[in-house]
Amino acid sequence: MDPINDLFARSGAPAKTKFLLLGSPDFRSESLMNRVRSLNLEHVSPAQMKGPEISRRPVSAAAEEATRLALMRRWFFARKPDAGFVLMDFPATLLQAKVFDEWLDARDEALSAVIHAGSGSSESVVQHYRTLGLLVEAGDLAA
């Protein structure tokens, strides 16, 4: 596959661009991260959203996942449909990825790209977006 020269050129209007960032960015993707930060898009992470919530320790991983899905669902359906975003740390599991795909379908929206920014992402999530043809490796992007 030829490297993508400008990931942002095919995204349409910058305000409508929708990205997922999978994994923890490393030093090689610093240029990409600087470009993403410069976009006038909402940057969203479940970790940011959890702070304002009343913090109670979930008793299980299932409860933690349910809480994360509820937070993200509230954010997703409260935003304007044409508003762009950069979503980090979500989806973290294959279940979350499939649920997120259903949310996009329900609002007739599509992701611009899913950027595999570094290690730390679930291989099943990476493979899911690779199968859908949305995955772009951060290392393949030209500086």
Instruction: Give the residue among 80, 90, 2, 11 at the shortest CA–CA distance from 50.
Output: 90
Residue 133 domain-assigned (yes or no): yes
Number of domains in the chain: 1
Residue 39 domain-assigned (yes or no): yes
Q: What's the pLDDT score for residue 80?
A: 87
Greater pLDDT, 15 or 117: 117
Residue 122 domain-assigned (yes or no): yes
Residue 4 domain-assigned (yes or no): no
Residue 1 domain-assigned (yes or no): no
Greater pLDDT, 24 or 125: 125
C-alpha distances (whole Å) from 68 to each of 71, 79, 96, 119 are 5, 17, 9, 21
Q: What's the pLDDT score for residue 83?
A: 86
Phi, psi of 81 (to 5 degrees): -60, -30
- Cβ–Cβ under 8 Å, residues 29 and 60: no
Percentage of the chain modeled with pLDDT above 90 = 31
Residue 3 domain-assigned (yes or no): no
Which CATH number belongs to the domain containing residue 81 in this structure? 3.40.50.300
Edge-to-edge, what's the strand order for the sheet holding 85-88?
A: 42-44, 85-88, 18-22, 113-116, 135-137
Segment among 95-99, 113-117, 132-136 with least mean pLDDT: 113-117
Confidence of residue 99 (pLDDT cuts 50, 70, 90): very high
Question: 72: domain range?
Answer: 9-140
Residue 62 domain-assigned (yes or no): yes
Residue 2 domain-assigned (yes or no): no
- Cβ–Cβ under 8 Å, residues 87 and 121: no
Is the per-residue pLDDT at 17 higher than 90? Answer: no
